[in-house]
Amino acid sequence: MATFKIHEDSAIKDAISKKENISRLPKKIQPNGKRTALNSFSNGVRQDCKRIKIVSNKENVPPPQVKPITKMEEKPKLVIDTDLLKIVPGENKTSDNEDAEALPLLQTLKCSLEYSEEILKFLKEQESETLPRPTYMDKQPHITWNMRSVLVDWLVCVADEYNLNEDTLYLAVQYIDRFLSKISVIRDKLQLVGASAMMIAGKMEEIYPPVPKEWAFLTSDSYTARQVIKMEQLIIKVLDFKLVSPTSYTFVRKFCEDHKIDKVTTNLAMYLTELVLLEGKHYLNFKPSEIAAASILFARFNLMKPILWPKEMEKSSGYTIKHLSPIVKAQSVTLKGSPLTPQQTIQEKYKGRKFGGVALLKPRVLNLDCLEDGDGCLAELPQRNFGVIGDRRK
């Protein structure tokens, strides 16, 4: 077996032979000595060093240099260009008062003009798939058109009281008409159908829609929350779960945004479109896009616009004045008789400041004979037929 012998370091052996101070030896080979604190070694030999005075970091580290604070240049505010959906620098031109009075329609972001035609084409395809049957009331032995008008008026009141979106109201009325086109309903259950349809529309459009207990309370506890839920399930099943469909309000908003129509014309068009909801008997045979285009046309006629129906509107909507003339005629009769109807919720709603009091505008006399000829004869009608109710100007 091989054996190994550990030899001592030559530097240590020489130091011992010369009988130097044993304190210079490393601690491991000192016989009974202790190593002095803070002594360093280099190559196995101790180096003399002085005691180091430890001071705080504040004394060793130089004080930070304080840079002078320079005034930052104010950057221009960023506003959203609602036409192109991109952020551009500029100043907000609208004041706080105008924002408070603006319609929810005008506060929403506009669709990009690049996809405007494709969006409108898709909406027109969708509206044809979800049209109710115009003569469904003939097979409803227990309810009438007047009962439907009372129900719609109640829904408008509820939507205004709870600050619901306009899309919620229009969707609810569409659900009711589509449901009644397939199911016969007794008179006592008509309000239940309206409440459940409005609850479904609220779930589609609202962030915090009213709950079934709230709808039961709104019906004066005529129905329970369980009945509201059961009717909701039945409506969804009858509609075959097709709950996303464009309404006349959708097309009014689309046309007004694309063509930058002024607020007064938009408010009046919305007022005419909402009055149509009360009279399903005369308007269910028209498409929502046709009603929307006719509402804008009739609004421009009542406000005496220089160009009644611009070529851009005719091209984007796809309807001419001749095509919209039957709807405009019906709307003229509806608007003229609106102050005399028992249901006045819509009229009171559009008399407020929020919508510019457009319900107070007196309708112009519509010449039915020359309506189909174009917009030339309409522009020549006397201006004295237009004014505000109570205005004595001739």
CA distance 13 to 7: 10
DSSP string, 44-87: TEEE--PPPPP--HHHHSPPPPPPPPPPPPPPPPEEEETTTTEE
pLDDT at 70: 55
* Local confidence pLDDT in tens for the 394 residues of the chain: 555 454 555 555 555 555 545 555 555 444 554 444 444 444 444 445 445 444 444 445 555 665 555 555 554 544 444 443 333 334 444 444 444 444 444 444 344 567 777 888 888 888 888 889 999 999 899 999 999 999 999 999 999 999 999 999 999 999 999 999 999 999 999 999 999 999 999 999 999 999 999 999 999 889 999 999 999 999 999 999 989 889 999 999 988 888 888 999 999 999 999 999 998 888 999 999 999 999 999 999 999 888 889 998 898 888 999 999 999 999 999 999 888 889 889 999 999 888 888 988 888 877 655 555 554 444 433 333 333 333 323 3
Let me know: does 275 contact 335? Beta carbons within 8 Å. Answer: yes
Q: β-pairing, 387-388 with 361-362?
A: antiparallel
Label residue 259 exposed, middle or buried (CB < 10 Å: 0-12, 13-18, 19+). middle
The residues that bridge with 89 in the sheet, in sequence order, are: 78
Q: What is the DSSP letter of 25?
A: S
Going by their DSSP bridges, the two strands 45-47 and 40-42 should be labelled as antiparallel
Look up residue 187 and give its two tokens. 């008179």
Q: Which two tokens stand for residue 115?
A: 């996809």
Q: Give the whole-angstrom CA distance, residue 221 versus residue 331.
A: 36
pLDDT in tens, 277-295: 998 888 999 999 999 999 9
H/E element holding 231? helix 225-238
Contacts of 39 (CB under 8 A, 6+ apart): 46, 47, 49
Helix ranges (H only) for the chain are 10-17, 57-60, 96-101, 104-107, 116-129, 145-161, 166-180, 190-205, 212-218, 225-238, 248-258, 263-278, 280-283, 288-302, 311-317, 321-337, 345-349, 376-379
Which residue ranges form the domains of the chain, and what is each CATH number? 10-44 (no CATH), 134-238 (1.10.472.10), 248-388 (1.10.472.10)
Residue 305 DSSP one-character state: -
Structure pTM?
0.67
Which residue's structure tokens are 């309708």? 363
Q: Which of 331, 337, 342, 334 is nearest to 371 (CA)?
A: 331
Predicted local distance difference test score (pLDDT) of residue 316: 85
